[in-house]
């Protein structure tokens, strides 16, 4: 009886493992990855190519991490923001007063890695032409100059509509905030410590090629991009589907170039303030 019992238990265990494998195989996921590309076209707010304006300079930052607050698939150019299939919305809080993104609960990832996994069975079947992605946080390295000597520093950039931050780490230094910070707040760490500041209100670029048919609210960071061919979800998928959201960082870090030398001079009296940290376009793809 003892051996019969052990044999039955082994059979049950193996059967359970097989059942689990079958379950995994029949529950494919939508995998979302965030990527950055400095060679991608540089767009303005209206979704058309644009150059750095006179009086400013810009550079391609070297990304360490990134996060997003909102993700939506839209069926066509007239689908209004919020009327498509909403796939993700990060936690928000009113601890700082007005409603804000809860940075402590944000999903911060290295570009190229998986940001989200969603069971495909939970997504409304449809043919989707557009993607709307609201960015919230970026961390990257930039080149700067002090007394005409080049250095590298790290920027923590908050581009969400409003951000409740308890603490955050730029590179090595941790800052305590415990307050809301609006779009454009930043921390900049160098060998001499951390400086913080605020980009001008409304200066953060948010490319939206659909600004005429499907506008976005002022102060949001909802970047809009189009699939080369529609992403079709039937509800009968049997394998995972990976969507990569490639974000343009082509001269996305922009400052006032007071002396017109094309370098970011950070002496306290230089006047070369950060004016724009917005992403410069979105190209979604799938496989």
Tokens of residue 206, six digits: 């948010």
- Rounded CA-CA distance 247/111 in Å is 10
- Each of the 287 residues of the chain gets a pLDDT tens digit; together they read 333 333 433 333 333 444 444 344 569 999 999 999 999 999 999 999 999 999 999 999 999 999 999 999 999 999 999 999 999 999 999 999 999 999 999 999 999 999 999 999 999 999 999 999 999 999 999 999 999 999 999 999 999 999 999 999 999 999 999 999 999 999 999 988 999 999 999 999 999 999 999 999 888 899 999 999 999 999 999 999 999 999 999 999 999 999 999 999 999 899 999 999 999 999 999 99
3-state secondary structure of 24: helix
- Rounded CA-CA distance 213/47 in Å is 13
- Rounded CA-CA distance 78/215 in Å is 10
């Amino acid at each position: 009886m003892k051996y019969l019992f052990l044999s039955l238990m082994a059979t049950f265990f193996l059967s359970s493992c097989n059942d689990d494998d079958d379950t995994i195989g029949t529950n494919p996921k939508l995998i979302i990855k965030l990527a950055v590309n400095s060679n991608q076209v540089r767009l303005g707010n209206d979704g058309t190519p644009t150059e750095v304006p006179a009086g400013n300079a810009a550079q391609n930052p070297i990304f360490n991490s990134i996060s997003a607050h909102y993700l939506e698939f839209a069926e066509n150019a007239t689908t209004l923001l919020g009327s498509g299939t909403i796939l993700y919305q990060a936690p928000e809080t009113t601890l700082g007063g007005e409603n804000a993104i809860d940075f402590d609960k944000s999903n911060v990832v290295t570009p190229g890695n998986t940001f989200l996994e969603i069971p495909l069975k939970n997504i409304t079947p449809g043919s989707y032409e557009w993607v709307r992605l609201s960015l919230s946080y970026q961390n990257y390295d930039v080149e700067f100059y002090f007394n005409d000597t080049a250095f590298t520093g790290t920027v923590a950039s908050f581009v969400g509509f409003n951000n409740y931050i308890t603490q955050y780490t730029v590179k090595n230094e941790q800052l305590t905030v415990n307050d809301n910070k609006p779009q454009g707040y930043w921390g900049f760490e160098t060998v001499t410590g951390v400086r913080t500041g605020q980009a001008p209100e409304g200066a953060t670029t948010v490319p939206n090629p659909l600004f005429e048919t499907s506008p976005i609210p002022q102060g949001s960071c909802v970047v809009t991009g189009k699939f080369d061919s529609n992403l079709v979800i039937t509800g009968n998928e049997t394998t995972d589907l990976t969507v990569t959201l490639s974000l343009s960082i082509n001269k996305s870090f922009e400052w006032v170039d007071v002396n017109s030398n094309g370098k970011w001079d950070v002496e306290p009296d230089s006047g070369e303030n950060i004016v724009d940290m917005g992403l410069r376009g979105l190209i979604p793809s799938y496989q």
